[in-house]
């Protein structure tokens, strides 16, 4: 059973899928150092109706599925987990990209780790001052299926500002120091190929790859599911960065309907919870989710989250 | 098929469930006056794992189900739609109740239409200045199952400040004029017994039942699913109330993970998007979602919603 059943795709939590399939081969990846890790949401599942399966193969790293849904457009699924639907991807892509980009006064060099569907790249290229975008995606198959089946997301892959590397983000960072104004980690959950992107040593490499006024933005899971993991990420990042903030937005097809964004800055005086620049009318007209007020409001957290994160 | 299947409860959109069951008896209720109506989210479904079915009967008005889930506590389901889970109900109950109650400088008399699970009543009673709460719920069976299976929500039903009526909210309002400081409509979707609670004549009755500085709060569906209905509700309410605002919060087990709140005031000078009163430490310590910053941020809308609602 892989989630495709009777005309519907069902996204189970990886641990529930193991139980349904009677295998526990990967369950050790779900727990680490006593922390509840992301990538698990036992006891709940989300389904989309499938019109047509467009692509389904195993890459070197993961199971890659693209299907046409009846009401959410084309849908990208990696290892059984929905990564993006054409209907609501703009919320995640815009927030993960524009929170750090508008918090930065003048972002010229940007690095994207992951982001193979191209959605983050599309958003970064909306900023005219960006001179060069470097992207490091481990799985070339994701880029290829995005080019073919997700044209609205992958429209930036031919841009002359792009330097594209296919390889491991962790290894890439070891050779790049003080180079980027903004780094965006657009990863899947910490189960499978993205596992190393949630550890302390990864964030230390990110800090070193940023310029002195550099800002980092990372996929930060959901406060409804992974509050312990989020508290853990924030705690160790406060040892690495002088400025650490957590925001969130609604992304309706992600588990529990929300996604968080961990935004860190190397400059202690940089307040990432407010934009540093005005959103020009020409950019605003291209945005469906983000605006300056949404930027500020993203960092206002429900009381139970404030309590848990000591904010 | 009623959503309970192989140890899981699946919430289908009512129109999809009709197709699955081969019946179209209620489909006419889903469309009205060319408006996309709430209560439909075709092509997507949400499932919770069932530990034990606690109650399942048909009342005079609807199918009433309560089950114990494996990870969301006890769950109340009406006509196949999840109304509340013990794990995340606080977001909806606190926001629907405290947005109007804290926007009002001194709410003494409060009316709840619907709200049979008791969650809104519990929140209203946290305000010391409230002298009397009137509640009008059409379905006595919902109150009875809440008392038995949802004790954390139904804890206010024995409070001496409560006047409880079992009957139709629409009819109740016809006999009550200029009486309430705050009215809260805690209804299910506009399919079934709550259908009349989404029409213009209902809102005219609400206005007439409010005092001159009265504030109304209504369950306002999701911007990800029902933007046309929401635009329609706002448009006709601007003919009825001088102040009309729309806010939202994440409620992880509602379709698309969010719920909206339509907040209207009879006083043109009342800005409901900011609290009129401080949240005392004794109330704040009882709240898990709401705080003053959350109040303000709830009314900051994503750009696509602003565009659609002309806000």
* Chain segment B157-195, per-residue pLDDT in tens: 999 999 999 999 989 999 999 999 999 999 877 767 777
The reported pLDDT for the residue numbered B196 is: 73
Is the confidence metric ipTM above 0.90 for this complex? yes
User: Which residue in chain A is spatially nearest to B45 when comparing CA positions?
Assistant: A47
- Chain B residues with CB under 8 Å of A291 CB are 302-303, 306
- What are the tens digits of pLDDT across the range B87-146? 999 999 999 999 999 999 999 999 999 999 999 999 999 999 999 999 999 999 999 999
Helix ranges restricted to H, chain A: 14-21, 89-103, 119-124, 140-149, 169-174, 200-209, 227-240, 281-284, 292-298, 303-309
Q: Given an 8 Å threshold on Cβ–Cβ distance, is A254 in contact with B254?
A: no
Q: Which of A16, A69, A257 sits opposite B258 (nearest CB)?
A: A257
Which positions in chain A touch B289 (Cβ < 8 Å)?
302-304
Which of A20, A44, A256, A307 is the mutation pick for testing B, counting most B CBs within 10 A?
A44
User: What distance in Å separates the CA atoms of residue B13 and residue B287, rounded to the nearest whole number?
Assistant: 31
From chain A, the residues in CB contact with B253 under 8 A are 44, 256
Question: Residues of A with CB below 8 A from B16's CB?
Answer: 49
Instruction: Let me know the angle formed at the C-alpha of A192 by A179 and A247, rounded to the nearest 5 degrees.
Output: 55
Please report the pLDDT score of residue B47 as a whole number.
95
Give the residue among A230, A234, A123 at the shortest CA–CA distance from A182: A123
Q: Over chain A, what is the mean pLDDT? A: 91
- The answer on pLDDT for B22 being more than 50 is yes
Over residues A73-91, mean pLDDT: 96
List phi, psi (to 5°) of B39. Answer: 90, 0
The CA distance from B132 to B225, in Å, is: 36
CB B134 within 8 A of CB B106: no
pLDDT in tens, B195-246: 777 789 999 999 999 999 999 999 999 999 999 989 999 999 999 999 999 9
CB-CB under 8 Å, A303 with B43:
no
Q: Which residues of B touch A8 (CB under 8 A)?
A: 45
**Closest partner CB to A43 (pick from B16, B48, B290):** B48
Does residue A120 contact residue A219 with C-beta atoms inside 8 Å? no
Backbone φ/ψ region at B91: left (φ over 0), alpha (ψ -120 to 50), beta: alpha
Min distance B20 CA to chain A CA atoms (Å): 11
Contact B46 A49 (CB under 8 A): no
Closest Cβ–Cβ partner in A70, A252, A289 for B304: A289
How many beta-carbon pairs below 8 A join chains A and B?
A: 131
Task: Please give the positions of B annotated as active site.
Answer: 186
Residue A31 has pLDDT above 70, yes or no: no
Indicate the pTM of the whole model: 0.94
pLDDT computed for residue B2 by the predictor: 61
Over 50: is that where the pLDDT of A168 sits?
yes
**Cβ within 8 Å, pair A48-B43:** yes
Instruction: Using the predicted structure, report yes or no on whether residue A32 has a pLDDT greater than 90.
Output: no
Q: Do residue A48 and residue B44 have CB atoms under 8 angstroms apart?
A: yes
Catalytic residues of A: 186
Q: Mean of the pLDDT values across residues B300-304? A: 97
Contact A303 B291 (CB under 8 A): yes
Average pLDDT, chain B: 91
**Contact between B303 and A290 using a beta-carbon 8 Å cutoff:** yes
Interface contact flag, B290 A303, Cβ < 8 Å: yes
Nearest to B294 among A72, A249, A302 (CB): A302
What is the structure's pLDDT at B291? 98
Residue A28's pLDDT band, with cuts at 50, 70 and 90, is very low
- Contact list, A16 vs chain B (CB under 8 Å): 49
- CB atoms B302 and A284 under 8 Å: no
Q: Considering CB atoms only, which of B8, B248, B289 is closest to A304?
A: B289
Query: Is the pLDDT reported for residue B38 higher than 80?
Result: no
């Amino acid at each position: 059973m892989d989630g495709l059943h009777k005309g519907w795709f069902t996204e189970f939590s990886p641990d529930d899928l193991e139980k349904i399939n009677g295998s526990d081969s990967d369950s050790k990846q779900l727990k680490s150092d006593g922390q509840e890790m992301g990538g698990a949401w036992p006891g709940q599942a989300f389904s989309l109706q499938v019109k047509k399966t467009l692509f389904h193969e195993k890459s070197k790293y993961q199971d890659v599925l693209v299907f046409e849904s009846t009401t959410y457009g084309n849908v990208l699924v990696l290892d059984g987990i929905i990564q993006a639907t054409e209907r609501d991807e703009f919320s995640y892509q815009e927030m993960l990209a524009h929170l750090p980009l508008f918090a930065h006064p003048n972002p010229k060099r940007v690095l994207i780790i992951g982001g193979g569907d191209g959605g983050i790249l599309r958003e970064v290229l909306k900023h005219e001052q960006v001179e060069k975008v470097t992207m490091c995606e481990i799985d070339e198959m994701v880029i290829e299926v995005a080019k073919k089946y997700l044209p609205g997301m992958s429209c930036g892959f031919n841009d002359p500002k792009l330097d594209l590397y296919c390889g491991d983000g962790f290894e890439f960072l070891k050779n790049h120091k003080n180079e980027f104004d903004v780094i965006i980690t657009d990863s899947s959950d910490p189960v499978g190929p993205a596992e190393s992107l949630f550890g302390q040593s990864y964030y230390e490499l990110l800090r070193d790859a940023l310029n002195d006024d550099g800002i980092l933005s990372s996929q930060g899971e959901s406060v409804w599911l992974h509050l312990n993991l989020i508290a853990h990420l924030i705690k160790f990042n406060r040892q690495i960065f002088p400025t650490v903030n957590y925001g969130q937005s609604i992304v309706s097809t992600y588990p529990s309907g929300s996604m968080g964004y961990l935004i860190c800055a190397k400059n202690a005086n940089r307040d990432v919870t407010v934009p540093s620049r005005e959103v020009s009318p020409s950019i605003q007209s291209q945005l469906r989710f983000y605006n300056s007020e949404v930027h500020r409001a993203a960092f206002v957290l429900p009381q139970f989250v404030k309590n848990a994160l000591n904010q």
